[in-house]
């Protein structure tokens, strides 16, 4: 029962039913219109033929009337049924056709008729028909005329001599079945063709809807697999239709979900690792000092390690909270004008100790002394500080460390460059991911959280700006990000930034 309901609710059934109903209704309307048009057209043709035959019969009687008067001196018996000569001659008029003629007097009594006429039920024409005739008015229509057993199409006209004296009434008739038969044959052929088209449409709809519903069914199964946690399922992409495009987009979504799931797992693993490591160190050293395993004379050394691990833990938690606030939209950016050159100088000075320790060749290169941009001052300070922190951290001893600022078409390009190990090609596409570290051994970056570059990218994305990476492994690394140039003075923020 459930399977039957499922079939009735399926896209295929509804699509096919809708198609059949639309086609069927169209054919019904078309058949009705065609039947009416063809029927009316064919009846009109036969009525004109009846009119011509009736006119020929009337002319024949006029001629016979003149000859009959000359021969007999009277018209008595001209249209009598016993006038075999008249019957033969009017029969000759309809010979080879499916029509026939009969002749009546003024009262509608059948006096003579075509040899091919149908069997008569009566010999008195319906007064409603005979009474509507007049000198200038013929009659036509469909009826049993009061004399036939079945309906006939008829055309009647009065016959008058030159003196306008009434002679007889001529009716040309044809059985209605003979008129309707060709129309019926045409309509039967038309109906058979329509049914054939309908059958072909149903078969075609089966294959067409199958091409639509089959991928949808596969997507449904894939979606159920996603709900169960399996993001590896993919849908086959066939052809170049909208369904194929949808399947391709569906697969892209599946890949994104799989990547998100992997990212989530990596995130949990990395957070767990980066939280566990300092906490383990802190717990171990404090426990060693309390139990006496670590002698008092070494307490200062290990307390400094505990302090560094605590700071590392604090940085990690702060970074996670910062990311959470940005992604939740809770961190509001206050756009203002400030001097990016002054900010860069202050950040470079803050790394003075590390620069001296590594004997770096520092260069600050700006087109002007003051270049104002519009952005959130604190957020951009965090971006530039993180980039300079990485640049000095991973720069090789005695090599270059450069910060350059350029203007172009309303944009300010800030470039942070260092000579050192650089970034490997396989690491470049992951550099802005959470917890990603190019230094797999963490030998150079023991204090890093792997969130700095992710935060940089997130902040710049929120500003609608871009950041690009250039690197050659073993030689150099450069990050270039954009800011929107502000043509106003922006001096109101100089003091705040210098505090």
pLDDT tens string, the chain, 499 residues long: the values are 455 555 555 666 676 777 778 888 888 888 888 888 888 898 999 999 999 999 999 999 888 888 888 888 887 888 887 788 888 888 899 888 889 999 999 889 998 888 888 788 888 999 988 888 876 789 999 999 999 999 999 999 999 888 888 899 999 999 999 888 888 888 888 888 888 888 887 788 777 776 666 777 777 777 787 777 777 777 777 666 666 777 777 777 777 777 766 666 666 666 665 566 677 778 888 888 888 888 888 888 878 888 877 876 776 677 667 666 666 666 678 899 999 999 999 999 988 888 999 999 999 999 889 999 999 998 899 899 889 988 998 899 999 999 999 998 889 999 999 998 888 888 887 787 765 655 544 444 544 556 778 888 888 988 899 999 999 888 899 999 999 998 775 444 444 454 4
User: Which residues lie closer than 8 Å to 120 by C-beta, 6 or more apart?
Assistant: 110, 113, 147, 148
Q: What sign has the CA pseudo-torsion 199, 201, 202, 208?
A: positive
User: Which residues lie closer than 8 Å to 449 by C-beta, 6 or more apart?
Assistant: 274, 312, 315, 316, 319, 435
State residue 444's pLDDT score.
47
Is there a single domain that holds both residue 295 and residue 374?
no
What is the reported pTM? 0.46
State residue 314's pLDDT score.
77
Q: Which tokens is 174 given?
A: 């044809």
Is there a single domain that holds both residue 474 and residue 412?
yes
User: Which residues lie closer than 8 Å to 251 by C-beta, 6 or more apart?
Assistant: 234, 235, 237
Q: Which tokens is 115 given?
A: 């040899």
State residue 499's pLDDT score.
43
Do residues 481 and 466 lie in contact, with contact meaning Cβ atoms separated by under 8 Å?
yes
> Under DSSP, is residue 275 helix (H, G, I), strand (E, B) or coil?
helix
State residue 492's pLDDT score.
47
Q: Which tokens is 475 given?
A: 């030689």
Q: Is 446 within the bounds of a domain?
A: yes
Is there a single domain that holds both residue 37 and residue 122?
yes
Is there a single domain that holds both residue 153 and residue 171?
yes
DSSP state of 119: P
> Under DSSP, is residue 419 helix (H, G, I), strand (E, B) or coil?
strand
Do residues 102 and 92 lie in contact, with contact meaning Cβ atoms separated by under 8 Å?
no
Last residue of a domain, one of 328, 359, 385: 328
Neighbours of 32 (CB within 10 A): 10
Q: Which tokens is 333 given?
A: 């950016």
Question: Which of 377, 371, 349 has its CA nearest to residue 362?
Answer: 349
Residue 278 structural domain: 242-328
State residue 418's pLDDT score.
94
| CATH (domain of 403) | 3.30.565.10
Q: Is 222 within the bounds of a domain?
A: no
Last residue of a domain, one of 282, 298, 328: 328
| CATH (domain of 163) | 3.30.450.20
The Cα–Cα gap between 489 and 491 comes to: 5
Do residues 201 and 19 lie in contact, with contact meaning Cβ atoms separated by under 8 Å?
yes
Is there a single domain that holds both residue 172 and residue 299?
no
State residue 144's pLDDT score.
92
Q: Compute CA distances 87 → 22, 79, 80, 81, 484, whole Å.
A: 57, 9, 9, 8, 111
Q: Is 58 within the bounds of a domain?
A: yes
Please provide the size of the chain in residues.
499
Q: Is 52 within the bounds of a domain?
A: yes
The Cα–Cα gap between 62 and 86 comes to: 11
Is there a single domain that holds both residue 263 and residue 393?
no
State residue 85's pLDDT score.
85
Is there a single domain that holds both residue 313 and residue 344?
no
Q: Compute CA distances 442 → 102, 431, 445, 448, whole Å.
A: 119, 15, 5, 8
Do residues 127 and 144 lie in contact, with contact meaning Cβ atoms separated by under 8 Å?
no
DSSP state of 424: -
Q: Is 196 within the bounds of a domain?
A: no
Do residues 145 and 43 lie in contact, with contact meaning Cβ atoms separated by under 8 Å?
no
> Under DSSP, is residue 410 helix (H, G, I), strand (E, B) or coil?
coil
Is there a single domain that holds both residue 353 and residue 317?
no
| CATH (domain of 264) | 1.10.287.130
């Amino acid at each position: 029962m459930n399977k039957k309901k499922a079939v009735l609710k399926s896209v295929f059934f509804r699509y096919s039913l809708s198609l059949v109903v639309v086609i069927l209704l169209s054919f019904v309307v078309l058949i009705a219109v065609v039947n009416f048009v063809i029927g009316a057209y064919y009846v009109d043709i036969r009525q004109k033929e009846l009119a011509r035959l009736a006119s020929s019969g009337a002319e024949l009687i006029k001629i016979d009337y003149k000859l009959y008067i000359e021969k007999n001196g009277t018209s008595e018996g001209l249209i009598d049924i016993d006038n075999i000569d008249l019957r033969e001659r009017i029969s000759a008029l309809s010979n080879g056709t499916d029509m026939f003629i009969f002749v009546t007097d003024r009262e509608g009594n059948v006096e003579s008729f075509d040899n091919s006429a149908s069997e008569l039920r009566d010999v008195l024409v319906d007064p409603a028909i005979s009474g509507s005739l007049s000198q200038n008015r013929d009659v036509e229509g469909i009826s049993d005329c009061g004399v036939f057993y079945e309906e006939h199409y008829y055309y009647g006209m009065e016959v008058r001599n030159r003196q306008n004296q009434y002679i007889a009434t001529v009716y040309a008739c044809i059985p209605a079945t003979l008129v309707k038969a060709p129309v019926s044959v045409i309509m039967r052929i038309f109906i058979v063709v329509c049914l054939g088209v309908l059958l072909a449409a149903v078969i075609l709809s089966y294959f067409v809807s199958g091409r639509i519903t089959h991928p949808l069914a596969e997507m449904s199964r894939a979606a159920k697999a996603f709900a169960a946690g399996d993001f590896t399922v993919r849908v086959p992409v066939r052809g170049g239709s909208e369904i194929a495009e949808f399947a391709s987009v569906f697969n892209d979504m599946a890949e994104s979900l799989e990547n998100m799931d992997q990212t989530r797992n990596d995130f949990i693993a990395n957070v767990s690792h980066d939280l566990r490591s300092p906490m383990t160190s802190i717990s171990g050293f404090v426990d060693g000092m309390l139990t006496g395993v670590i002698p008092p004379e070494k307490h200062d050394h290990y307390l400094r390690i505990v302090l560094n691990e605590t700071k590392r833990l604090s940085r990690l938690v702060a970074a996670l909270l910062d990311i959470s606030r940005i992604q939740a939209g809770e961190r509001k950016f206050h756009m203002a004008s400030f001097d990016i050159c002054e900010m860069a100088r202050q950040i470079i000075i803050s790394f003075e100790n590390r620069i001296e320790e590594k004997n770096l060749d520092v260069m600050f290169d700006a087109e002007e002394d003051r270049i104002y941009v519009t952005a959130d001052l604190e957020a951009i300070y965090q971006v530039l500080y993180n980039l300079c922190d990485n640049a000095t951290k991973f720069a090789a001893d005695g090599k270059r460390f450069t910060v350059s600022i350029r203007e172009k078409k309303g944009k300010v390009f800030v470039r942070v460059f260092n000579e050192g190990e650089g970034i490997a090609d396989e690491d470049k596409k992951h550099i802005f991911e959470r917890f990603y570290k190019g230094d797999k051994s963490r030998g150079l970056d023991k204090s890093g959280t792997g969130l700095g570059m992710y935060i940089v990218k997130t902040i710049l994305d929120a500003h609608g700006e871009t950041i690009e990476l250039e690197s050659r492994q073993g030689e150099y690394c450069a990050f270039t990000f954009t800011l929107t140039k502000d043509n106003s003075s922006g001096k109101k923020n100089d003091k705040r930034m210098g505090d």
